[in-house]
Amino acid sequence: AELYGVPYWSSGYFRVNDEGKLEVDLPGGLSIVLEEVIEELVARGKSMPIILRFPQVLAERVKSLSEAFRKAIKEYDYQGKYQGVFPIKVNQRRVVVETIAKAGYSYHTGLEAGSKAELALCLAQNIHPEALLCCNGFKDDGFVSLALWGRKLGKNVVITLEKMSELDRVLRLSKELNVKPAVGVRFKLNAKGSGQWEESGGDNAKFGLNAAELLHVVERLREEDMLDALSMIHCHIGSQITDIRRIKVAVREATNVYANLVKAGVPVKYLNVGGGLGVDYDGSKTTFYASMNYTMAEYAADVVYTIQEVCQRMEVQEPIIVSESGRALTAHHSVLVIPVLDVTGPTVDQPFIPDRKEDQHQIVTDLEQLSENITVRNAREVYNDAVADKETMNNLFNLGYLSLHDRARGEALFNGIIRKIAKAVQDMKYVPDELEDLPRVLADKYVCNFSLFQSLPDNWAIDTLFPIIPIHRLDERPTREATLVDITCDSDGKIDKFIDLRDVKRTLPLHVPDGKPYYLGIFLAGAYQDVLGSGHNLFGKVNEAHVVADKEEGYRIELFVRGQKARRMIENMGYEEDDLRDSIEAQIETARKKGHFTQSEAKELGTTYTEELLGYTYLE
Ligand code: PLP
Residues 393 and 444 in one domain: no
Structural domain containing residue 603: 566-614
- Residue 1 forms part of a structural domain: no
Q: Give the ipTM of the model, two decimals please.
A: 0.99
User: Which of 303, 324, 524, 532 is the pocket-test mutation for ligand 1 (most atoms within 8 Å of CB)?
Assistant: 324
Residues 136 and 33 in one domain: no
16 is annotated as contributing to ligand binding: no
Gap from CA of 233 to ligand 1 centroid (Å): 15
pLDDT of residue 193: 74
Q: Rounded CA gap, 225 and 222, in Å?
A: 5
What CATH number is associated with residue 417? 1.20.58.930
Ligand 1 atom nearest to 90, measured from its CA: 14
Residues 381 and 461 in one domain: no
463 is annotated as contributing to ligand binding: no
Gap from CA of 236 to ligand 1 centroid (Å): 7
pTM over 0.90: yes
- The last residue of one of the domains, among 517, 543, 561, is 561
What CATH number is associated with residue 11? 2.40.37.10
pLDDT of residue 370: 95
Residues 287 and 412 in one domain: no
Ligand 1 atom nearest to 239, measured from its CA: 15
- Residue 212 forms part of a structural domain: yes
**Nearest in space to 290 (alpha carbons), one of 498, 64, 65, 508:** 498
Residues 96 and 209 in one domain: yes
> pLDDT tens for residues 431-467?
888 888 787 778 999 999 999 999 999 999 999 999 9
> pLDDT tens for residues 43-61?
999 999 999 999 999 999 9
- Residue 368 forms part of a structural domain: yes
Residues 6+ apart with CB under 8 A from 517: 42, 339
Gap from CA of 180 to ligand 1 centroid (Å): 27
- Residue 191 forms part of a structural domain: yes
- Residue 356 forms part of a structural domain: no
Which DSSP symbol is given to 228? G
Q: Rounded CA gap, 253 and 269, in Å?
A: 17
- Residue 620 forms part of a structural domain: no
The sign of the dihedral angle between the CA atoms of 465, 466, 467, 473 is negative
Q: Rounded CA gap, 608 and 584, in Å?
A: 11
- The last residue of one of the domains, among 402, 435, 468, is 435
Residues 414 and 450 in one domain: no
Active site residues: 489
**Nearest in space to 529 (alpha carbons), one of 84, 96, 85, 15:** 96
Q: In this structure, which residue's CA is closest to atom 11 in ligand 1?
A: 275
Residues 165 and 287 in one domain: yes
- Residue 520 forms part of a structural domain: yes
If one counts every other C-beta atom within 10 angstroms of the C-beta of residue 64, the result is: 16
pLDDT of residue 347: 67
The helix/strand/coil state of 561 is: strand
Residues 145 and 287 in one domain: yes
Gap from CA of 273 to ligand 1 centroid (Å): 10
Helices (H), 178-243: 211-223
Residues 340 and 280 in one domain: no
**Nearest in space to 54 (alpha carbons), one of 18, 21, 13:** 13
- Residue 58 forms part of a structural domain: no
Mean per-residue pLDDT pooled into runs of 10, the chain (620 residues)? 92 97 94 97 97 98 98 98 98 97 98 98 97 96 98 97 94 97 96 73 78 96 96 96 96 98 97 98 96 98 98 98 98 98 79 86 96 91 95 97 96 90 84 82 92 97 96 95 95 95 93 95 97 95 97 94 95 95 94 92 93 94
Residues 114 and 157 in one domain: yes
pLDDT of residue 436: 80
Distance between alpha carbon 245 and the CA centroid of its chain, in Å? 25
276 is annotated as contributing to ligand binding: yes
Residues 92 and 238 in one domain: yes
Ligand 1 atom nearest to 278, measured from its CA: 15
Q: Is the peptide bond before 49 cis (omega within 30 degrees of 0)?
A: yes
User: Which of 239, 273, 279 is the pocket-test mutation for ligand 1 (most atoms within 8 Å of CB)?
Assistant: 239
**Nearest in space to 168 (alpha carbons), one of 216, 210, 121:** 216
280 is annotated as contributing to ligand binding: yes
Please give the tally of structural domains in the chain.
4
If one counts every other C-beta atom within 10 angstroms of the C-beta of residue 89, the result is: 18
CB of 449 within 8 A of CB of 619? yes
Residues 24 and 108 in one domain: no
Q: In this structure, which residue's CA is closest to atom 9 in ligand 1?
A: 275
**Nearest in space to 424 (alpha carbons), one of 501, 350, 500, 370:** 370
Gap from CA of 299 to ligand 1 centroid (Å): 15
If one counts every other C-beta atom within 10 angstroms of the C-beta of residue 399, the result is: 8
Q: Rounded CA gap, 3 and 500, in Å?
A: 9
Question: Can you give the length of the chain in residues?
Answer: 620
Residues 6+ apart with CB under 8 A from 96: 53, 58, 330, 333, 526, 530
What CATH number is associated with residue 91? 3.20.20.10
What separation in angstroms does the CA of 593 have from each of 292, 464, 579, 600? Answer: 68, 55, 21, 14
Gap from CA of 277 to ligand 1 centroid (Å): 9
In sequence order, the β-bridge partners of residue 539 are: none
Ligand 1 atom nearest to 238, measured from its CA: 8
438 is annotated as contributing to ligand binding: no
- The last residue of one of the domains, among 524, 540, 561, is 561
518 is annotated as contributing to ligand binding: no
Name all residues whose Cβ lies below 6 A of ligand 1. Answer: 87, 90, 136, 236, 239-240, 274-277, 324-328
The helix/strand/coil state of 479 is: coil
